[in-house]
């Protein structure tokens, strides 16, 4: 830069001519205060493309289309008050392109009383282009890094944060300005801070490996103090001769939840299979017990023995209820799903709930919107609603409120990923919210497990929510529990939504005022692998007048069917050893005898085995069954032929 001229001072035109002559190679120009150019150096000719003859006499800001960083009036005021101004401006070359100029202006007095401005200029266009290139590359790199889902944190060898990506800001809940310049240990809870510093110190001392934290799982801390598991990958690099460490951080919260839900789902599936198998075997036992008790009752005269027998029959019936709950949890109970508007269906349960819960519990039902149609077993839904309501009542011993809300929701793919058995789509949501004591996290964790209860001994079986869970899963739905100690619990049942509701046909009335069981003289083939259960079924049917043939497995049944072409009805268990199930047997029988009636029975039902889904016109009878239920169902099938 030229030496600084002291202002104000008076300079003659000869002095100005001499200065420009001496500095002719420099980029220097002189103009009057009104902008008229009086002197134009060779350096200016080279920089701007205008010859001296073309420039002198022109207004400098018109000739060079000057772009100022601030209003020109401010610059003139500074020249008058301070005698000088410097800054960066933009001039236009004769060819039309812009030139970035670092300019210094000095105000001098002319002898005639006018002012002149001596302006020295330096072309900094190359510097600005380089700076813009660096900024562009930085912006490009930043935009790429901001698309990386993992958080990125860059620190120096003292642990001071140098860079903090957008993903890191979102993950830790703090801005780059808040953390840069501070130690990275601020992103970890206290127990882990010293350990992290130790990792860096150990690496700096030993230099054992370039990757000092490959895939380590550590605990992070957000700005609000909450902690979360994270996977950390740390690598070393060199920048400007200094060692830096770049950490890529991945939040493991969602992964851990998915893994925990998968483990829980697998555990519940295993427990469900176990309880379903136990219930199946127990139902076979109950079938033998209740069947023989009924046959004894038929032979006993009125008196004390009949009353004792009644107590035994009642206990067997209670056992059947218990196994039904176990089957519900294991998702092996027979369901009879029908199309229904869930808003109307749940509302119809209000009177039952009001009578059951008592006056201390305030009930309300909210139906939010339309399109609440589902495919559901209404009686099992009623049992589920009742079980949830009873739990709510027990959590509100001094009274409270229970609100049931029915709405239509959409569960997206991101939500469905969190639950292994759930598919995304439209659902009808039933939310039952109480104002009770709530559940701790530990209690909530085990709430749906069978036989888990917080009630006193004798006050509950611990199968209520287990039954609800099994019913919802068997219906293709999803169950969620939300609870907070002291504030209450919300149980959410999601059932797959369907379009439209067909009018339901009234269920056939199998009841009868006459105690006399329906009789018949047709031939019935009983197929049952359990000999005791088979004997009870054969005896019951024989007592009703039927001719009974019996087989212990499907292959023997086919042989008997060929030997007895007059068999009118097949009464078969579903799950049997010997390589042929009841539904497979029924299909073979229908090939041989398309007109034969089919009645299935089992201690539980596998999905799709019962009823018309497998064999058209077939019906279902769940163990344990009474003589009356057997008589009515057999007669109904035979009369329909």
Q: Which residues have CB under 8 Å from 229's CB, separation 6+?
A: 217, 218, 219, 220, 251, 252, 253, 256
Predicted confidence at residue 503, as pLDDT, reads 46
pLDDT averages per 10-residue partition of the chain, 641 residues: 44 60 70 89 90 92 91 88 90 93 88 82 90 83 74 88 90 92 88 65 60 70 90 81 86 78 61 59 74 76 74 72 56 67 86 80 87 84 84 87 90 75 86 88 72 50 66 84 86 86 46 67 92 88 93 92 92 84 90 92 56 73 83 92 74
Which residue reads 């660096």 in tokens? 134
Residue 9 contacts residue 32 (beta carbons within 8 Å): no
Predicted confidence at residue 309, as pLDDT, reads 74
CA dihedral (17, 18, 20, 23) in degrees, to 10, reads 170
Helix (H) or strand (E) holding 312: helix 304-329
Which residue reads 């009464």 in tokens? 571
Secondary structure of residue 222 in the 3-state scheme: coil
445-449: which pairs have CB atoms within 8 A and are 24 or more residues apart?
447/481, 448/268, 448/479, 448/481, 449/268, 449/271
CA distances (Å), origin 90, targets 103, 118, 128, 130, 609: 10, 17, 11, 16, 85
What angle do helix axes 531-543 and 253-299 make, rounded to 10 degrees? 50
Predicted confidence at residue 335, as pLDDT, reads 61
> Tell me: domain 148-251, CATH 3.30.450.20, correct?
yes
Note whether 13-125 and 148-251 share their fold.
Answer: yes
Predicted confidence at residue 304, as pLDDT, reads 75
Predicted confidence at residue 461, as pLDDT, reads 46
Token pair of 378 as six digits: 């209404």
Which residue reads 């300079």 in tokens? 11
Q: What is the pTM of this model?
A: 0.42
Sheet holding 161-164, edge to edge: 161-164, 151-156, 242-251, 227-239, 216-221
Distance CA 404, CA 139 (A): 53
Residue 420 contacts residue 384 (beta carbons within 8 Å): no
Among 566, 572, 516, CA closest to 546: 566
Which residue reads 């038929």 in tokens? 298
Token pair of 567 as six digits: 């068999």
DSSP letter string over 105-118? Answer: EEEEE-TTS-EEEE
Beta-strand ranges (E) seen in 144-213 are 151-156, 161-164
Is the Cα torsion angle 309, 314, 320, 323 positive or negative in sign?
negative
Distance CA 165, CA 151 (A): 6
13-125 folds as: Beta-Lactamase (3.30.450)
How are beta strands 361-368 and 216-221 bridged, if at all?
unpaired
Distance CA 55, CA 46 (A): 12
Which residue reads 């009878």 in tokens? 621
Secondary structure (H, E, C), 439-504: CCHHHHHHCCCCCCCCCCCCCCCCCHHHHHHHHHHHCCCEEEEEEECCCEEEEEEEEEECCCCCCC
CA distances (Å), origin 560, targets 60, 121, 530, 589: 118, 115, 18, 11
523-639 folds as: Rossmann fold (3.40.50)
Secondary structure of residue 313 in the 3-state scheme: helix
Predicted confidence at residue 150, as pLDDT, reads 86
Give me the residue spans of the domains in the chain: 13-125, 148-251, 259-329, 338-496, 523-639
Rg over CA atoms, the chain: 45
Token pair of 151 as six digits: 């958080």
Which residue reads 């009823």 in tokens? 611
Among 404, 406, 395, CA closest to 435: 395
Among 568, 572, 585, CA closest to 524: 568
Predicted confidence at residue 610, as pLDDT, reads 44
CA diameter of the chain: 148
Is the preceding omega at residue 624 within 30 degrees of 0, hence cis? yes
Predicted confidence at residue 198, as pLDDT, reads 61
How are beta strands 242-251 and 227-239 bridged, if at all?
antiparallel
CA distances (Å), origin 104, targets 4, 101, 118: 10, 10, 8
Strand partners, 547: 523
Among 321, 296, 324, CA closest to 310: 296
Residue 572 contacts residue 586 (beta carbons within 8 Å): yes
DSSP state of 211: B
292-297: which pairs have CB atoms within 8 A and are 24 or more residues apart?
292/536, 294/540, 294/626, 294/627, 295/536, 295/539, 295/540, 295/543
CATH architecture of 338-496: 2-Layer Sandwich (3.30)
């Amino acid at each position: 830069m030229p030496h600084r001229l002291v202002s104000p001072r008076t300079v003659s035109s000869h002095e100005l001519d001499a200065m420009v002559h001496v500095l002719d190679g420099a980029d220097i120009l002189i103009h009057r205060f009104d902008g008229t150019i009086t002197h134009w150096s060779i350096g200016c000719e080279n920089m701007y493309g205008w010859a001296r003859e073309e420039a002198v006499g022109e207004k400098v800001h018109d000739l060079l289309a000057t772009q100022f960083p601030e209003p020109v009036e401010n610059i003139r005021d500074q020249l008058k008050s301070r005698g000088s101004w410097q800054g960066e401006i933009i001039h236009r070359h004769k060819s039309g392109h812009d030139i970035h100029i670092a300019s210094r202006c000095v105000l001098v007095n002319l002898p005639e009383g006018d002012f002149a401005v001596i302006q020295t200029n330096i072309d900094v266009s190359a510097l600005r282009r380089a700076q813009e290139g660096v900024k562009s590359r930085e912006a490009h790199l930043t935009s790429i890094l901001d698309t990386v889902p993992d958080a990125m944190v860059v620190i120096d060898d003292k642990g001071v944060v140098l860079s903090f990506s957008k993903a890191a800001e979102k993950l830790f809940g703090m801005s780059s300005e808040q953390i840069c310049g501070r130690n990275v240990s601020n992103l970890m809870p206290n127990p882990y801070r010293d350990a992290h510093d130790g990792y860096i110190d150990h690496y700096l001392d030993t230099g054992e490996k370039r990757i000092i934290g490959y895939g380590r799982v550590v605990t992070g801390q957000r700005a609000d103090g909450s902690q979360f598991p994270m996977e950390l990958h740390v690598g070393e690099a060199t920048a400007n001769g200094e060692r830096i460490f770049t950490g890529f951080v991945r939040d493991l919260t969602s992964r851990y939840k998915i893994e925990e839900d998968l483990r829980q789902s697998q555990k519940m599936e295993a427990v469900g299979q176990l309880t379903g198998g136990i219930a199946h075997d127990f139902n076979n036992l109950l079938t033998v017990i209740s069947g023989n008790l009924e046959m004894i009752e038929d032979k006993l005269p009125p008196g004390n023995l009949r009353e004792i027998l009644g107590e035994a029959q009642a206990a067997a019936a209670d056992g059947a209820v218990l196994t039904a709950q176990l089957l519900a949890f294991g998702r092996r109970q027979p369901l009879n799903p029908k199309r229904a508007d869930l808003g109307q269906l749940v509302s119809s349960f209000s009177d039952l709930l009001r009578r059951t819960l008592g006056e201390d519990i305030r009930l309300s039902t909210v139906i939010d919107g339309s399109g609440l149609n589902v495919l559901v077993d209404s009686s099992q839904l009623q049992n589920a609603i009742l079980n949830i309501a009873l739990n709510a009542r027990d959590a509100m011993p001094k009274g409270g409120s229970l609100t049931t809300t029915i709405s239509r929701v959409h569960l997206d793919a991101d939500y469905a990923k969190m639950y292994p058995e759930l598919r995304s789509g439209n659902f009808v949501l039933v939310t039952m919210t109480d104002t009770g004591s709530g559940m701790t996290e530990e209690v909530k964790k085990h709430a749906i497990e069978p036989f888990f209860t917080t009630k006193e001994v004798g006050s509950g079986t611990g199968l209520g929510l287990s039954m609800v869970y099994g019913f919802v899963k068997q219906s293709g739905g999803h169950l969620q529990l939300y609870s907070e100690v002291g504030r209450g619990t919300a149980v959410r049942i999601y059932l797959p939504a369907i379009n439209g509701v067909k009018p339901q046909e009234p269920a056939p009335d199998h009841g009868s005022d006459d105690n006399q069981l329906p009789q018949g003289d047709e031939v019935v083939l009983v197929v049952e692998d359990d000999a005791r259960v088979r004997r009870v079924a054969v005896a019951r049917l024989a007592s009703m007048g039927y001719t009974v043939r019996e087989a212990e497995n499907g292959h023997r049944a086919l042989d008997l069917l060929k030997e007895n072409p007059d068999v009118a009805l097949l009464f078969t268990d579903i799950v049997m050893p010997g390589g042929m199930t009841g539904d497979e047997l029924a299909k073979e029988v229908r090939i041989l005898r398309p007109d034969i009636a089919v009645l299935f029975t089992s201690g539980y039902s596998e999905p799709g085995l019962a009823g018309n889904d497998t064999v058209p016109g077939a019906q279902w009878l769940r163990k344990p069954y009474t003589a009356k239920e057997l008589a009515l169902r057999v007669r109904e099938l035979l009369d329909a032929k």
